[in-house]
Structure 1
């Protein structure tokens, strides 16, 4: 249930000289998120949308996976596969299991992930925007590495609410360094559906970690407390960037009917930290996480 006394947080604009303002830095430290409007241009967003639609049109069925209600079933081998590939995720009517689907079901693709930022040139250029690298280093990520990328076509229609998610549960480093960067490619509002969180949620504990222990999937629970109702609405518009602390619990609230909500999310970690080998999301040794500035 959404708190009726919800908060519309402060919104920011990015300085044309790529300088983070003291007020932005202070807001980030206090709240664990930033909303920066027009960080990407309409043209940049349209180009990415067109590229995603072309990838779906030309996709290979063997790379397509049916997904569970909670974004995707991370217990399945498909999640490990997607860390090193461009995989197409589909949500079936019952969402009871993961399965391969035929090409003519491409219209039902829910998202693409999770190495698209490294394997597609259009997505790579979009993901490695110089201003984003400067912003992240200004927030303390001195060696930003792009770890995971997800292009979202639509959110689950199983319920009016998705699940709370903390990015560090999947991309865990010591010390913790994960940051999520969500770029809206359409208008995401209270009326159409958008992200929500609650006050200073990033200051609370990380509730769990998803990991492998001797090839067996495990959930390591740190804290069994219940998250409070969301009371901060993170509305966004075309080109808006929402930066999220890895511990910040976020949830997507939508209307009853299924709506197309295109967005793109990049997860960043700091290369100075230790990325744990038993994380559920891991790449092959020959395909390591890369930074913003790579040789062409």
Structure 2
């Protein structure tokens, strides 16, 4: 299958220099509306009494359960840490309590699969020199108003490690993302320093193999984008987002891709698939 790259030389140079690239108007309003409406339907059908799994980038090793592990091949729902009151009940409607939905939307749901397998996305991956790309996980992230949780500084290669490292994050804004409602912040050029630590799964559960380095918050710059913009994130880029304490949500659809051409998936990654995912294409 022949895939034609769609990034210019200037865009590639900027990505290689900064570690991230913003592509404005990557998705149309019709595509955005379709994904948001489909997520509304999925949430309407979700029985929140059946699970209360919480997602946290600070304490995930304490809150990880089989529901989290099995989400690698399912559509699963994870609550915000601050969604529950002292009595254990939700403080607001479930639609305003979910942190994210993951991690196989791109495989199971036809609306999200359509975007994930689109020619513009495969063309982008071709520009980044992927030979046999696989979307290893997908997430619909809500960043809820008032309670949208902080995402601490991290690198995507830590969680989705291949030898050699090949992970790239694709973050599509479904709403405007600003410093007010919790946009991404990144340290430009930090990908050049390589991978700092890994998030591994073993007999003790999931945990990092090393403590987190200390980062100077002055080094981070905000990546504010309009709805429909795609942020391409190098797997070694240090990035984060703050809590959303505003009255506006910040919905996004996030994908992570790795290459399976001459690259080995680490067996101690948290994702352990029973069935290997199909590549988007073979160049």
TM over 0.5: yes
> Where do 1:157-168 residues align within 5 Å?
161-168=150-157
Contact 1:66 / 1:92 at 8 angstroms: preserved in 2?
A: no
What is the correspondence of 1:127-146 to structure 2 with a 5 Å cutoff?
127-146=116-135
- Could you say which residue in structure 1 is the equivalent of 2:75? 86
Please give the per-residue CA displacement for 1:185-215, whole angstroms capped at 9, x wherever unaligned.
1111223331111121111232221112246
Task: Note closer, same or farther for the CA distance 1:224–1:56 as it changes in structure 2 (3 Å cut).
Answer: closer
2:137 maps to 148
2:273 is matched with 283
Distance 1:95 1:71 in 2: 17
Greater displacement, 231-240 / 17-26: 17-26
- Post-superposition offset of 1:94: 7.3
2:115 to 105, 126, 133: 126
Instruction: Show the counterpart of 2:13.
Output: 26
Normalising by the residue count of structure 1, what TM-score does the alignment of the two structures yield? 0.82
* C-alpha deviation, 1:184, in angstroms: 0.4
Rounded Cα–Cα distance in structure 1 between residues aligned with 2:69 and 2:143:
22
Q: Who is 1:111 aligned against?
A: 100
Equivalent residues of 1:67, 1:95 under 8 A apart: no
1:52 aligns with 2:42: no
Within 1, Cα distance between the matches of 2:115 and 2:61? 26
Deviation at 1:219, TM superposition (A): 1.9
Whether the aligned pair in 1 keeps the contact of 2:145 and 2:246 (CA below 8 Å) is no
Q: How many residues end up aligned between the 2 structures?
A: 274
TM-score, normalised to structure 2, is: 0.85
Distance 1:252 1:109 in 2: 17
Unpaired runs of 5+ residues, structure 1, are 1-16
> For the aligned residues, what is the CA RMSD?
3.0
- Contact 1:144–1:269 under 8 Å retained in 2: yes
Which 5+ residue runs of structure 2 have no aligned equivalent? none
